[in-house]
Amino acid sequence: MPSSSSEGPVIDRLVSANQRYAAEFTDPGMDARPVLKVAVVACMDARLDLHAALGLELGDCHTIRNAGGVVTDDVIRSLTISQRALGTRAVVLIHHTGCGLLNLTEDFRHELELEVGQRPSWAVESFKDADQDVRQSMERVRTSPFLLHTGDVRGFVFDVTTGLLREIDPANGPES
């Protein structure tokens, strides 16, 4: 794992990398509308290289990432803009094995409140079962009144040790 101290502050390294990138950059002449008309909602985990794992190229999709890949109000906001303003029609939800949210609870918010003197306005959205949380996320997308296209919503769990996606059947929840 690279150390930020060996080559200077990490943000300076990122800015330098951007300058090298920009020196050879050619405007691809793309529109903001994804070519494949798909939005991918996934966890922010650094082990997920979504474009490589899904065979995507620049411009193919909208990518929305957060802790856990959970469908929150802000994800619905982004999906609504993606669909209504930029033409996406399909939604792919991706959680993964070994997610950090599996070990957190809402106590995290209370600990933060004790530390900083203010409780966060957001929920942790932790979960104990990734499959069930994918089902919940699919249901949140499918029932949102703001989204135009809710028929093509599929959810998966990405295995960080094999690189494979495992599709989650929305009908096989604990209540089934």
Report the 10 Å Cβ neighbour count for 65. Answer: 17
Give me the pLDDT at residue 69, please. 97
Q: What's the confidence (pLDDT) of residue 6?
A: 55
Is the residue at 93 inside a domain? Answer: yes
Asked if residue 19 is part of any domain, the answer here is no
| Residue 155 resides in a domain | yes
Q: What percent of the chain has pLDDT over 90?
A: 86
Is 110 known to sit in a ligand binding site? no
Whether residue 4 lies inside any domain: the answer is no
Domain count, the chain: 1
Angle, helix 130-142 to helix 73-84, in steps of 10 degrees: 50
Identify the helix (H) or strand (E) that includes residue 91.
strand 90-96
Q: Per the domain annotation, does 18 fall within a domain?
A: no
CA-to-CA distance for 58 and 79, rounded, in angstroms? 19
Q: Is residue 8 part of a domain?
A: no
Residue 45 is assigned to a ligand binding site: yes
pLDDT at residue 8, rounded to an integer? 75
Question: Which pTM does this prediction carry?
Answer: 0.89
The CATH number linked to 146 is: 3.40.1050.10
Q: What is the DSSP letter of 40?
A: E
pLDDT band at 154 (very low <50, low <70, confident <90, very high): very high
Instruction: Give, in order, the Cα–Cα distances in Å from 118 to each of 68, 104, 121, 124.
Output: 23, 19, 9, 15
Evaluate whether residue 174 is within a structural domain.
no
Q: Give the per-residue pLDDT at 176.
A: 47
Q: What domain range includes position 37?
A: 30-168
Residue 105 covered by a domain? yes
Query: What is the torsion angle, in degrees rounded to the nearest 10, for the CA atoms of residue 144, residue 41, residue 43 and residue 105?
Result: 0
Residue 67 has pLDDT above 90, yes or no: yes
**Mean pLDDT of the chain, nearest integer:** 93
Separation CA 74–CA 33 (nearest Å): 20
